[in-house]
Structure 1
Amino acid sequence: MSSTSLHGSCFCKKIQLELSGEPHAIALCHCTDCRKISGSVFTLNFIVSTTDLKISGSSPAENPKTSDSGKKYINYFCKDCGSPLYGGAVDESGKLQTAVVRAGCFDDLEVLKGKKPSVEIYTAQRMEWISPVEGAAQFEGMLPAR
């Protein structure tokens, strides 16, 4: 990713996001939660520092749950149009640790050209007709803790 910011929004454009800096990873996720949230069989996500993500416009709605690891995870979406925008695990104080930005919310999908996923997670749940991304690290479940 270049030093240029990436811009995105929800479907109704009431929430905008700006992403600066380099992602920690670009990940394909095949988990059941991502399927349900996206309405597809996987999601493409930019895993970024929360300091690199700016939200403007309406405040996103929150959908909290407990992740496989037992941590609280919150998905953020537009309460008006339902577009999923980002999510992430939160610490004991309720602060988002790292943001998982849904790549489909970027306004200019040209920014995704050449942005091959570096990792695939929940590959045990990947559809058998979807091939692994060549060169991407493969994990049957969640990424190992850093």
Structure 2
Amino acid sequence: MHANSWPGGCCCTRLRYRLKAEPMVVHCCHCTQCQRMTGSGFVVNGVIETSNVEIETGSLKPFRLPSETGRPLIVYRCADCGTDICTDYGARETMIFLRMTTLDDPKRFGPDVHIFTRSKLPWVSLPPQVPAYEGFYPAFEEVWTSEALQRRRALGF
């Protein structure tokens, strides 16, 4: 176990994982695709290197879904119970969008930004202190810290 690590898992508890680093950024996405994919009003995704997510028990099953951008969209779910764990947008393989509410302590990482608020459900209120964009933010530098940008660049993005 790492000194700074955060455990998580699925509903049936057969899949257990551990984050070995904090996410680079945490998005609260209100797009209709995330709403439909998760069956919720929004999804809270932590963008993190796949190398910083350690699967301890169980396994993930990939599901290829159609995407609004036309780029590959692969959702990984617990192979046993189907809990939505993470998504690889664009089949990048080195960076995933982890469902932060699958952490054992989902309060640990709140959203850094709200995105695609143009399709936010009308009964969802956004906190004024968190940046919000109608679509995706225009520049990574507006939202990501310099350390997070360095980590992203190290992945080739």
Partner amino acid, structure 2, of 1:117: P
CA contact (8 A) 2:51 2:94 kept: no
- Write 1 or 2 for the structure with the bigger share of helix: 2
Deviations 1:14-43 (A, max 9, x none): 211111212111111112222223221111
The Cα of 1:142 is off from its aligned counterpart by 3.6
TM-score normalised over the length of structure 2: 0.76
Superposition pairs of residues 91-130 of structure 1, within 5 angstroms? 91=91, 95-109=92-106, 112-113=107-108, 115-130=109-124
CA contact (8 A) 1:90 1:97 kept: no
74 and 142 in structure 1: CA distance in 2 versus 1, 3 angstrom threshold: farther
- Write 1 or 2 for the structure with the bigger share of strand: 1
C-alpha separation between the residues in 2 aligned to 1:133 and 1:68?
Answer: 27
Superposition pairs of residues 40-55 of structure 1, within 5 angstroms? 40-55=40-55
CA contact (8 A) 2:29 2:44 kept: yes
Could you list the runs of 4 or more consecutive aligned residues of structure 1 that deviate by over 4 angstroms after TM superposition? Answer: 143-146
The Cα of 1:88 is off from its aligned counterpart by 1.6
Unpaired runs of 5+ in structure 2? 141-157
CA RMSD of aligned residues (A): 2.1
C-alpha separation between the residues in 1 aligned to 2:52 and 2:76?
Answer: 16
Partner amino acid, structure 1, of 2:51: T
SS at match of 1:37: helix
C-alpha separation between the residues in 2 aligned to 1:76 and 1:12?
Answer: 15
Superposition pairs of residues 62-81 of structure 1, within 5 angstroms? 62-81=62-81
C-alpha separation between the residues in 2 aligned to 1:100 and 1:21?
Answer: 14
TM-score normalised over the length of structure 1: 0.81
Partner amino acid, structure 1, of 2:122: E
C-alpha separation between the residues in 2 aligned to 1:101 and 1:53?
Answer: 9
Partner amino acid, structure 1, of 2:55: I
